[in-house]
Amino acid sequence: MTHKWISVGVLLAGVMAVGIACIAQQGPTEAPAGFNTPTLAQNQGAQSVSNGIAEPPGDTYALDQTSFEQAHDASTGLGPVFNARACVDCHQNPVTGGASQFTEIRAGHLDANGNFVAATVPINDGANTIALRSIINDRALIPQAQEHIPDTEDIRALRAALNTLGDGFVEAIDDSTLQSIAQHQPEISEGRIHGEAVPVPVLESPGQSRIGRFGWKDQHSSLLSFIGDAYLNEMGVTNRLRPHDVTTIGKITKDPEDVPDNLGLADIDHFAEFIRGTMVPPRDATLSATAAAQAGQNLFESIGCSTCHVSTIVTAPAGTVINGGAFTVPDALGNKIIHPYGDFLLHDIGTGDGIVQNPPADTANKLRTVPLWGLRTHPRHMHDLKSLTLESAIERHAGEAEKVRDRFQKLSPEDKQALLTFLNSL
């Protein structure tokens, strides 16, 4: 069994790399890695280095990061309900764009037919409501707009804010690559693991869809869609993709609040440029070179962790048109080898939150595989951040991952420690 997992796992990565390389004119190259976007109180972006992505005319990477770090207030469109004042508030560890230890609230209920319905939240002493929105904001501009989960919304969950470093490369993964991973998983797991690739709308290309890869439910397929949605739902700033606030209680600005600057770029465009320009999270070179980490990596593959936490993926060739025609993969992102240790697919591992954000309904108890790159910067783990150790996170795996978890449990103490050493090198 052990040799089967290793050989097929390596074969899967090789098939993807070779298949995509045949399309490109030259072989794929490694994506640049580094925590190179430090968060500075003054001169934001002054010390940051991008992955080499070309900027729009007049734009700079420092300006993109400055926009990502800009704090809003009511006069610039914040709220009326919101979770944070700036993108960097939720994406900062260890540098701007990284992961967060903040969680957001999701809620809803089942109707008489067992279908998930997003929450309806009364505000302003019951005089107004915010309806059909699964996210519940923690903050508000005025007390009358503050949200509280009513008793009727009995499906409740916490979700961590996600890492965005390297997400430009994730956006550049071809749909066929994700579908191929999903199709191979049952073959190499004796039918136990079967990731779901969900097509979702591309907000900037009405009528077009693409395989989702961003958010805990894969609810977005493009970075611009993900960003436009987050700008409204996390900060309350309306934009061309999400042009209306969820309530007008306490609102003092006109929609859309995010308007183009003198370069013709709105905030959401600068945000997208910033994220697309980030490097992938780097490994700890010293730790990963140790015998323990290398042995742990072999165990990671042999017990089946790499079936979902896929080590190697190759992005689409430069020049590939994606996002319903709205974006062309640039040289900096195209034909690049990345090591996300994730498959960007939805799985049921027994930790689902019951929330449906995009059809089909079977996604209620599924969540996107956590990409493990940058894992060593996370003091807490899993979608709800309730696991305080890596071993605790592994032990919570059930459902599709039950057999893999069982193999971990049967490892010797020395082998367990080696596997954890490998994880701590990511």
User: d(Cα 307, Cα 321) in Å, to the nearest integer?
Assistant: 29
> What are the residue ranges spanned by the domains of the chain?
2-424
User: d(Cα 338, Cα 165) in Å, to the nearest integer?
Assistant: 12
Q: What is the pLDDT of residues 119-174, one digit of tens each?
A: 999 999 999 999 998 999 999 999 999 999 999 999 999 999 999 999 999 999 99
Mean pLDDT of 93-111: 95
Bridge partners, residue 322, by sequence: 327
- Angle between helix 291-302 and 413-424 (nearest 10): 100
What percent of the chain lies above the pLDDT cut of 70? 94
User: Which H or E run contains 61?
Assistant: helix 61-69
261 burial type by CB count under 10 A (0-12 exposed, 13-18 middle, 19+ buried): middle
Tell me, what amino acid is at 316? A
User: d(Cα 359, Cα 363) in Å, to the nearest integer?
Assistant: 7
Question: What does pLDDT average to over the chain?
Answer: 94
pLDDT at 21 exceeding the cut of 70: no
CB 145 within 8 A of CB 122: no
Q: Which pLDDT belongs to residue 25?
A: 56
How many Cβ atoms from other residues are within 10 Å of residue 346's Cβ? Answer: 24
Q: What are phi and psi of 341, to 5 degrees?
A: 50, 50
Greatest pairwise CA separation for the chain in angstroms: 64
Q: What is the pTM of this model?
A: 0.93
What percent of the chain lies above the pLDDT cut of 90? 93
Q: Which pLDDT belongs to residue 26?
A: 84
User: d(Cα 72, Cα 63) in Å, to the nearest integer?
Assistant: 16
Q: What is the pLDDT of residues 266-317, one digit of tens each?
A: 999 999 999 999 999 999 999 999 999 999 999 999 999 999 999 999 999 9
How many Cβ atoms from other residues are within 10 Å of residue 191's Cβ? Answer: 9
pLDDT at 17 exceeding the cut of 60: no
Q: Dump strand ranges (E) for 282-335.
A: 313-314, 321-322, 327-328
User: d(Cα 236, Cα 242) in Å, to the nearest integer?
Assistant: 10
Rg (CA), the chain: 21
76 burial type by CB count under 10 A (0-12 exposed, 13-18 middle, 19+ buried): middle
How, if at all, do strands 121-123 and 128-130 pair?
Answer: antiparallel
pLDDT at 228 exceeding the cut of 70: yes
Q: Give 33's DSSP letter.
A: B
Confidence of residue 101 (pLDDT cuts 50, 70, 90): confident
Q: Please tell me the number of Cα atoms within 13 Å of 100 on its side-chain side.
A: 19
| DSSP helix/strand/coil, 13 | helix
User: d(Cα 415, Cα 40) in Å, to the nearest integer?
Assistant: 41
CB 94 within 8 A of CB 339: no
pLDDT at 2 exceeding the cut of 90: no
